[in-house]
A and B are shown apart, each in its own frame.
Chain A
Amino acid sequence: MAEMTARVSGFFGRMPRWVYVVIALALAIAFPLLEQFGLMQTLWLRLGTRVLVYVLLAVGLNLVLGETGLLHLGYVAFFAVGAYTTAILSSPRFGIQWNFWVIVALAMGLSMLFGFLIAVPTLRLRGDYLAIVTLAFGEITRMTLNNWETLTNGPGGIPGIYPPNIFGWTVDSPLEFFYVLLVAVVIVIYLLGNVKDSRIGRAWNALREDEIAAHHSGVRPMRAKMLAVVMSSGIAGLAGAIFAYYQQFINPTYFLFMQSTIVVCMVVLGGMGSIPGAVLGAVVLDATPEVIRQAFTTWLPGAFGRDFLPGVQSALQTDFDRYRMAIFGLVIVLMVIFRPEGLLPNKLWKREVHEEDPRELEKTHQHLFDFEEGKQDLEV
């Protein structure tokens, strides 16, 4: 049995990366078709769409938290800026309906502007101060949205957001939104994958590992960090814009501090600096609680009779959310202590966090040796 497991997993381990990408993409494209053919409830499609929003957020935050090593605790504020841009410019609130592309561009642009404005003064500071400033910024944003009633309708929120019109195609079902988001996710991941392997991506990683050394090797810390913060803000703005269209209603309670920490948790769980990790983190953390809840309240009782583990069922009815958040907290702590490189680690980051581990050190040496011998690219 053990041998078989080893063989099967060895098979998967040997696969080149593009195989995984193709499999993941094929699964993602096929997923909504299950609903179309009546094999799956629409609920799961809706959940999948929400997962994709979180994937966008996690990938965007990964840029700052994972690649550059800056802790950003107000990420949801940029999400809010994007969402409110859409809500204000395409709803009965002011009776206007701007073009989808204009709104997405504006949402991204505004988020990037806000990202730039808070980055300018705070990036000079130590990393942990940045965390607090971004946290404060997130709270200020939420409270301002809550208090600025003439623009945002305050806590009442903005209902009735019009569906977007993309080149004459009105997007208004979960299925269509799933594909719109999937396209956005694929584009963002493709671009980020390229940026990551470019000069600037290397600069981010260098900054994360040793800012002084990076500075002396010709990296401009301010510029590189700024770029990371601004880019990730733009991604959050994009996610917010599409989310508002999809949800058709937003109010300030969507943008609580808790949301930011959930996204942080996704990135940490998946592996900081690893795009597949961020995707995995988002999928696992957003979908698992719902799957568990469904399993214990619907599927298992359906299969084994109504009174299957009634205690678990009632606990899931009343306390599940609290346990969920407590577990999230615990996951963050346990992950950073026992497996700081995450579930799907980025090799470089893994080496960095296991610096004192002789096996990892040996690997690094071997890697550099191979590179010098011309056997291997210095890809990480």
Chain B
Amino acid sequence: MQFERIRRILALGLVLVLALSTFGLGGCTQDTDDGADDGATGTTETIKIGVHTSLTGGLADYGFAASEALKIAAEDFTGFEVDGTTYEIELVIKDDKGEPAEAPIVAQQLVDEGVVAVIGTLTSGAANAALPIYQTAGIPMISGSATRPDLTELGFENFFRTCLRDDLQGAAIGEWALELEAAKVVVMDDRGDYAVALGNEVQATVEAGGAEVLRQEGQEGDQDFSAQVANIMGFDPDVVIFTGYHREAGLLFKQLREAGSDAQFMGGDGIKSNEIAQGAGGAANVEGAFCTFGGFAQEGMPGYADFAAKFLEVTGVEAGPYAENNYDALGAVVEAIKASGSTVGADIIEALHDVTYEGVQGTLQFDENGDVTVPGGGGTDLIPRFEFKGEAWEFLG
């Protein structure tokens, strides 16, 4: 009898919840605004900029840096004037947990909010999942950290990025290894989206340069690399390149040093975190390791020192990787709105292709695919290099 009653109450409750939520949902949709009235003078308008990032999940650190950098940027740029209209920027920050399955939901939410442009996504997988929705809605999406090469080649004209592509970084790592006159090179990835794409590029470059390559793989989240270490020791390489993230890199480098390897360790921007020393069981195991970065050299940037100081002041922590790329993404959007005098997505997209923007990273432009370029172009020499010395990564050039 008792269960029967519970069932009835549940049935009733369910109907109530459905009814309430239907009306509740209806109530909260009226406050979207539909972009700008062109040509109005002396008015103030609020434009919403979406931030599609990952505040939880494995890449939460990057997401934190991105969202904080954007908050700073919004404060810096808000109140800009075009044709007498003052625009106030309002950020709408949403979290996709780094899961591509969540990305379409987040994208839809931002579209529903009526944003004029989106800064994000953090990862390339989420970008793939979210781009169709932004494209249908005609909203530009500018990522500061989605580095997967083929993203700009899929035909999405609303996609732009302010970071350099993985194939450029991969080629740079490969060239660096060849500069070290390495005859035998190990390339290892963690089977993740980012690491595999980068690793393939590195391998292609190194093989084209005539060095012998042993490809190894671990899995993200692995603890034990003993089989790979034994294989690497049997190959006796001059250089070991790990293209994944710093946790696995630390474990791998530690296990390699303990097995007696004296190879030069290298990696991409995934390992450019000072925490690598802890994971490697002490800084000694990563001393002298090299890594690159997928953005421009911060040390060569005209505005980076000011930006980093401000970031530290506002958040209390050092600016994480790709913070300045996100800052510049918002800057480029503002520049495009100024250039086109419109807050309609299609106009912003068109303007972004022509815009020349002076940002934290220097003078930036976008090519026809939406990739970032610098005036005069540039190749692998754009990629900055770092060496691990003492307790931290140090800029080489």
Contact present between A and B (CB < 8 A): yes
- Which A residues are closer than 8 A to B by beta carbons? 5-6, 8-10, 12-13, 20, 23, 27, 31, 34, 38-44, 46-47, 50, 92, 143, 146-147, 149, 154-157, 159-160, 174, 247-251, 253-254, 280, 290-291, 298-299, 302, 317-322, 341, 343-345, 350, 359
- Are the C-beta atoms of A160 and B154 separated by less than 8 Å? yes
Interface centre among B24, B28, B101, B192 (most CB of A within 10 A): B101
- Are the C-beta atoms of A50 and B105 separated by less than 8 Å? yes
Give Cα distance in the complex from A159 to B265, angstroms: 34
What 15 additional pairs, Cβ within 8 angstroms, besides A39-B25, A322-B56? A5-B9, A6-B5, A27-B18, A31-B22, A34-B25, A38-B29, A40-B26, A40-B29, A47-B105, A143-B191, A156-B197, A157-B100, A290-B105, A319-B56, A343-B10
- Are the C-beta atoms of A157 and B125 separated by less than 8 Å? yes
Choice from A9, A44, A160 contacting B11 with Cβ under 8 Å: A9
Which of B70-78, B107-115, B342-350 is found at the contact surface with chain A?
B107-115
B interface residues, how many (CB within 8 angstroms): 51
- Are the C-beta atoms of A155 and B193 separated by less than 8 Å? yes
| Binary interface encoding of chain B residues 78-109 relative to chain A, with 1 for a CB under 8 A from any of its CBs, else 0 | 00000000000000000101011100110011
- Are the C-beta atoms of B100 and A291 separated by less than 8 Å? no
Choice from A9, A47, A147, A290 contacting B191 with Cβ under 8 Å: A147
Give Cα distance in the complex from A12 to B7, angstroms: 10
- Are the C-beta atoms of A10 and B8 separated by less than 8 Å? yes
Given contact pairs A9-B5, A50-B105, A157-B100, A247 touches B129 in the complex (Cβ within 8 A): yes
How far is the CB of B50 from the nearest CB of chain A, in Å?
A: 13
Give Cα distance in the complex from A185 to B172, angstroms: 51
How far is the CB of B121 from the nearest CB of chain A, in Å?
A: 12
Choice from B12, B60, B125, B191 contacting A8 with Cβ under 8 Å: B12
Among B107-158, those with CB < 8 Å from A are 108-109, 111-112, 124-125, 128-129, 131-132, 148, 150, 154-155
Chain B contacts for A8, CB-based, 8 A: 12
- Are the C-beta atoms of B25 and A13 separated by less than 8 Å? no
Give Cα distance in the complex from A182 to B154, angstroms: 31
- Are the C-beta atoms of A39 and B28 separated by less than 8 Å? no
- What is the chain B residue whose CB lies nearest that of A23? B15
Give Cα distance in the complex from A292 to B108, angstroms: 18
B55 at the interface (CB under 8 A from A): yes
- What is the chain A residue whose CB lies nearest that of B2? A359
Secondary structure of the A side of the interface?
A: helix
B41 at the interface (CB under 8 A from A): no
Given contact pairs A299-B24, A317-B55, A254 touches B9 in the complex (Cβ within 8 A): no
Chain B contacts for A253, CB-based, 8 A: 99-101, 125, 193
Interface centre among B57, B97, B104 (most CB of A within 10 A): B104
Given contact pairs A9-B12, A350-B3, A247 touches B104 in the complex (Cβ within 8 A): yes
- Are the C-beta atoms of B192 and A254 separated by less than 8 Å? no
Chain B contacts for A47, CB-based, 8 A: 105
Give Cα distance in the complex from A319 to B56, angstroms: 7
How far is the CB of A48 from the nearest CB of chain B, in Å?
A: 11
- Are the C-beta atoms of A359 and B1 separated by less than 8 Å? yes
- What is the chain B residue whose CB lies nearest that of A319? B56
B21 at the interface (CB under 8 A from A): yes
Chain B contacts for A143, CB-based, 8 A: 191, 219
- Are the C-beta atoms of A43 and B192 separated by less than 8 Å? no
A-B pairs with beta carbons under 8 Å apart, 22 shown? A5-B12, A6-B5, A10-B8, A23-B15, A39-B22, A39-B25, A41-B25, A41-B109, A43-B105, A43-B109, A155-B191, A156-B148, A156-B197, A159-B154, A247-B104, A251-B125, A320-B56, A321-B97, A341-B3, A345-B3, A350-B3, A359-B1
- What is the chain A residue whose CB lies nearest that of B98? A253
Chain B contacts for A280, CB-based, 8 A: 14
B179 at the interface (CB under 8 A from A): no
Choice from B28, B105, B191 contacting A302 with Cβ under 8 Å: B28
- Are the C-beta atoms of B8 and A154 separated by less than 8 Å? no
B196 at the interface (CB under 8 A from A): yes
How far is the CB of A262 from the nearest CB of chain B, in Å?
A: 11
